[in-house]
Amino acid sequence: MTLGLAATMYGQGSINFANNSTTLVTTNSTVGATTGTGAAVRTDFHVALYWGVLGSTEAQLIQIGNVAPGSPLNGRINAGIYTTGNATTGGNDAMFQVRGWTGNFANYDAAYAAALAGDATVLVGKSAVWQNPTGVLPAGATPNFNFGAGGFNGLVLTPVPEPSTIALAGLGAASLLLFRRRK
């Protein structure tokens, strides 16, 4: 009994990084030949799982496991089981976020930087940060994400506005404020 308790105390938290047909990775852009609205095509998107201990903010999350390419079914992820190590033991909650991008970039940050630099073919997206329980391996059923309220509801990859577009919007807002002040 003591041996069993000690083993569960040091059990690593684990989660199955996969989605289902109602939580597909989708795009909402018509830019580029390999992108389009609807489910993301298999060769065009990559997804990574980020996690942190309970209470972590988005900035504190780190990537867990490898980057997962889409599966043969468009918009699907099936990366397998990732472990959080002893930082979050099995059966306890942790914070998670899914980040995705298109193109042949090693990670989300590289894709986002390319999009900001003006590469209109790069689409990026990230889910909200949510709290989810982990499991213990190899103890039976594989833990899955909490799909639904507060959990991972899918991921939409969108174009990043060019810096010039943001600058023009800022200039327009400043002009409106100046005209309003003069009156």
- What is the greatest pairwise CA distance in the chain? 80
Higher pLDDT, 162 or 98: 98
pLDDT, mean of residues 163-174? 68
With a pLDDT cut of 90, the percent of the chain lying above it is 15
pLDDT digits 0-9 by tens, 72-104? 668 888 787 888 877 888 788 899 999 999 888
Poorest-pLDDT segment among 44-48, 139-143, 174-178: 139-143
Please provide the average confidence, as pLDDT, over all residues in the chain.
76
pLDDT, mean of residues 112-128? 89
Q: Is the pLDDT of residue 5 over 60?
A: no
pLDDT of residue 19: 79
User: Which residues are CB-neighbours of 140 under 8 A, at least 6 positions away?
Assistant: none
β-pairing, 25-27 vs 155-159, is parallel
Phi (first) and psi of residue 83, to 5 degrees:
-115, 145
Q: Is the pLDDT of residue 127 over 70?
A: yes
Hunting for tokens 């002040």 — which residue is that? 181
Poorest-pLDDT segment among 4-13, 83-92, 132-141: 4-13
pLDDT of residue 137: 55
pLDDT, mean of residues 158-162? 76
Q: Whole-model pTM?
A: 0.75
pLDDT of residue 138: 53
pLDDT of residue 110: 94
Q: How far apart are CA 116 and CA 67, in angstroms?
A: 21
Per DSSP, the three-state class of 170 is: helix
Residue 173 exposure: Cα atoms within 13 Å on the Cβ side: 6
pLDDT digits 0-9 by tens, 15-56? 878 777 777 888 887 655 455 678 887 677 889 999 999 999
